[in-house]
Structure 1
Amino acid sequence: MRIAHRFTTRMTASSMVVAAALALVGVQAAGHTASAATPKKAASVVDCTAANTELTVQQVSRPINHLLLTATNTGTKLCNLYAAPYLGAGEGAQAAVPWLESSRPQAVVTLAPGESGYAGIMTSSPEGYEGYTAKTLGVSFSNRNLDGSIGKSVTLKLPNGGVYFDSSNHVTYWQSDVYDALLG
């Protein structure tokens, strides 16, 4: 009988400890749920445009026949770079530089103030034809719906007094990493 009584006492004590622990966890979980449910002020995010970014274009040594387009957020809010830039190589360009679909990132590139996003531009290749030298690059930002541009266009001077473009040219989607932009 004594063994049964000790066993019952231990079970009762163990049950009480478990119940207390569960109650404590429940109180803590309720506290976390309440704080998680409390709405926090969301950071304001705007579209990246010529008004809140600085654009630069430079020639890179590797890979050959490539340019690097950089967009730096000069604003005070986060901004989104959608898809790829609309580019026109040369004054009065007849056709836009095509987007390289295989470079599409998994998410929209969001830039904090001072951060930069990148797009790689392949200007020519041995497979290309009908080439010409462009002295300027017209740049427009894609809108959220990817069906047109947003804001004003910017015209940049191309390095070395002009760059050779041919039919094989393309531009990558905006990337958060310069190396990803140049792999396209």
Structure 2
Amino acid sequence: MADASAGSKSSDRPSVTSSPTAGQAASATPSDGSGHNGGDAGNGAGAAVVACAVEGLGFSATSEDEKGGSVRHLLLTVTNTGDKKCLLYQYPYLKFTDARSPIAVIQDSKDAPVTLAPGEKAYAALLATGGRMDTYETNTIPLSLQGPDAGSKAGGPVDLDLPGQVAFDDGARVTYWTTASGLALRFIMSS
């Protein structure tokens, strides 16, 4: 996949910068357990909330396209399956193994980190194709979580199962995490 950040800024499209790739199931073991955490994971009042880790989360991807058609618009959902609050930073870091760069983020979707209490969900929207080159077809995508600093890892990657075979190209884009699925999708549905 070519670098999606180059030449992507135009007045009729949201601005993008490089971002990571998506992953899979809640029970997956991250390849890198290090990462930033916001402090102590204690339960007392005033205890700092730590960065979310894949071990306490469930992941899914659903198509937002018409049934039977090709899949271009995806909604990524993460659910806190643990027993403590955690912070979900930045956006899903989605990068295929042989790609030169991660999938670009839509900067206009930037929001504050999402605090996920047990059982709560957060969303990111993923546009698989932007009508460009270097098409890559797959039914999974590697997803890593980020720490407070863009590009820092809070664990992962996990292989996220996609709803069938999806074609990606170097125009793929992803949004920041948010608690409103409709808000995330607003950034990709017109593309």
Secondary structure (helix, strand or coil) at the match of 1:152 reads: coil
Aligned to 2:46: 42
The list of structure 1 runs, each at least 4 consecutive aligned residues, that deviate by more than 6 angstroms after superposition, is: none
Q: 5+ residue gaps in structure 2? A: 1-43
The structural deviation recorded for 1:152 is 2.5
The residue type paired with residue 175 of structure 2 is T
The residue type paired with residue 121 of structure 2 is S
Could you give the per-residue CA deviations for residues 52-89 of structure 1, whole angstroms, max 9, x where no partner exists?
11111111127x72111111001111111101010124
What is the aligned counterpart of 1:163 among 161, 166, 170?
166
Secondary structure (helix, strand or coil) at the match of 1:159 reads: strand
Measure the CA separation in 2 of the matches of 1:88 and 1:166.
12
1:116 aligns with 2:148: no
What is the aligned counterpart of 2:175 among 166, 172, 177?
172
Q: How does 1:38-117 map to 2 (within 5 A)?
A: 41-42=45-46, 44-61=48-65, 65-89=72-96, 92-105=98-111, 107-117=112-122
Measure the CA separation in 1 of the matches of 2:156 and 2:133.
31
Secondary structure (helix, strand or coil) at the match of 2:95 reads: strand
Secondary structure (helix, strand or coil) at the match of 1:57 reads: strand
Which is bigger in relative contact order (C-alpha 8 A, separation at least 6)? 2
Secondary structure (helix, strand or coil) at the match of 1:158 reads: strand
The residue type paired with residue 184 of structure 2 is A
Scaled by the length of structure 2, the TM-score of the pair is: 0.67
The structural deviation recorded for 1:41 is 2.0
The residue type paired with residue 76 of structure 1 is D
Secondary structure (helix, strand or coil) at the match of 1:96 reads: coil
Which is higher, the Rg of structure 1 or of structure 2? Answer: 1
Scaled by the length of structure 1, the TM-score of the pair is: 0.69
Q: 5+ residue gaps in structure 1? A: 1-39
What is the aligned counterpart of 1:136 among 135, 140, 143?
140
Kindly indicate whether the alpha-carbon contact (under 8 Å) linking 2:72 and 2:128 is maintained by their aligned counterparts in 1. Answer: yes
Kindly indicate whether the alpha-carbon contact (under 8 Å) linking 2:59 and 2:79 is maintained by their aligned counterparts in 1. Answer: yes
Q: How many correspondences in the alignment?
A: 140
Kindly indicate whether the alpha-carbon contact (under 8 Å) linking 1:98 and 1:171 is maintained by their aligned counterparts in 2. Answer: yes
Answer 1 or 2: which has greater helix percent. 1
Secondary structure (helix, strand or coil) at the match of 1:182 reads: helix
The residue type paired with residue 148 of structure 1 is S
Measure the CA separation in 2 of the matches of 1:53 and 1:153.
12
Secondary structure (helix, strand or coil) at the match of 1:151 reads: coil
The residue type paired with residue 113 of structure 1 is P
Measure the CA separation in 2 of the matches of 1:108 and 1:146.
12
Could you give the per-residue CA deviations for residues 93-150 of structure 1, whole angstroms, max 9, x where no partner exists?
4421111111001x21111110000000001133x22222122100000111223211
The residue type paired with residue 152 of structure 1 is G
